[in-house]
């Protein structure tokens, strides 16, 4: 009985080693995304004149926000192990934009689609979809274009990491 169990464990160890995950390929691709932004600037909530606000300025006649869409090209780090493809975008706050199951072609994250196009919102950090770390920001961050420095690290076992660093050029006076 002991011999059979021991041979079973050895077999499991050998076969288990054969089924190890494949090495991760890392590709940096420039990608262009349509980004919706305030066409008239920003104002306090519901404002119609320029000010120091976070919300789009509303049209003086219709009282509705006015938006414009512009294409923005950023580098996207694509990690692919043959099973899952992940898109990491350091220029958009280090966001993990997509994670796609290669076998079923399932995208794990919801995206904001308008007329069949994936639209990003420059001010609402949760709209593009994916995962974005909030630290060191309040709530969901300050906006879409808060770049992070990054480097890719490949381990001897074939795994890969995208290490990112965000530093804010904010000076807090002593005593505050």
Q: How many CB atoms lie within 10 A of CB 120?
A: 23
Burial of 47 (0-12, 13-18, 19+ CB in 10 A): middle
With contact defined as beta carbons under 8 Å apart, do 159 and 84 qualify?
A: no
Question: What is the C-alpha to C-alpha distance for residues 39 and 65, in angstroms, rounded to an integer?
Answer: 9
CA distances (Å), origin 10, targets 1, 16, 19, 106? 14, 10, 14, 36
Would you state the pLDDT for residue 14? 31
Better-predicted residue by pLDDT, 102 or 12: 102
Q: What is the pLDDT of residues 17-44, one digit of tens each?
A: 344 567 899 999 999 998 888 777 776 6
- 136 pLDDT exceeds 70? no
Would you state the pLDDT for residue 5? 35
Q: What is the pLDDT of residues 39-59, one digit of tens each?
A: 777 766 666 666 656 667 777
Would you state the pLDDT for residue 12? 29
Would you state the pLDDT for residue 115? 82
| Helix or strand run (H / E) with residue 17 | helix 2-18
Would you state the pLDDT for residue 174? 63
3-class SS at 67?
strand
Task: Examine residue 164 and say whether the peptide bond preceding it is cis (omega within 30 degrees of 0).
Answer: no
Would you state the pLDDT for residue 13? 30
Q: What is the pLDDT of residues 63-118, one digit of tens each?
A: 887 788 889 999 999 999 999 999 999 988 888 889 999 999 998 887 777 787 88
With contact defined as beta carbons under 8 Å apart, do 107 and 99 qualify?
A: yes
Q: What is the pLDDT of residues 152-169, one digit of tens each?
A: 999 999 999 999 887 665
Question: What is the C-alpha to C-alpha distance for residues 42 and 26, in angstroms, rounded to an integer?
Answer: 38
How many CA atoms are closer than 13 Å to the CA of 95, on its beta-carbon side?
A: 24
């Amino acid at each position: 009985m002991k011999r059979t169990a021991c041979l079973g464990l050895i077999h499991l160890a050998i076969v288990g080693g054969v089924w190890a995950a494949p090495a991760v390929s890392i590709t940096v691709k420039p990608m262009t995304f349509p980004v919706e932004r305030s066409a008239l600037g920003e104002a306090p909530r519901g404002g119609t004149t320029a000010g120091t606000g976070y919300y789009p300025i509303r049209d003086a006649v219709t009282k509705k926000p006015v938006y414009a869409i512009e294409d923005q090209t950023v580098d996207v780090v694509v990690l692919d192990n043959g099973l899952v493809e992940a898109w990491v975008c350091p220029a958009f706050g280090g966001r993990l934009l997509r994670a796609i199951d290669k076998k079923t072609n399932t995208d794990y994250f919801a995206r904001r689609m308008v007329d069949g196009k994936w639209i990003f919102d420059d001010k609402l950090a949760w709209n593009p979809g994916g995962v974005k770390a909030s630290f060191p920001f309040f709530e969901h961050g300050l906006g879409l274009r808060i770049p992070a420095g990054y480097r890719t690290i490949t381990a001897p076992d074939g795994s890969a990491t995208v290490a990112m660093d965000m530093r804010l050029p904010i000076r807090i006076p002593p005593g505050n």
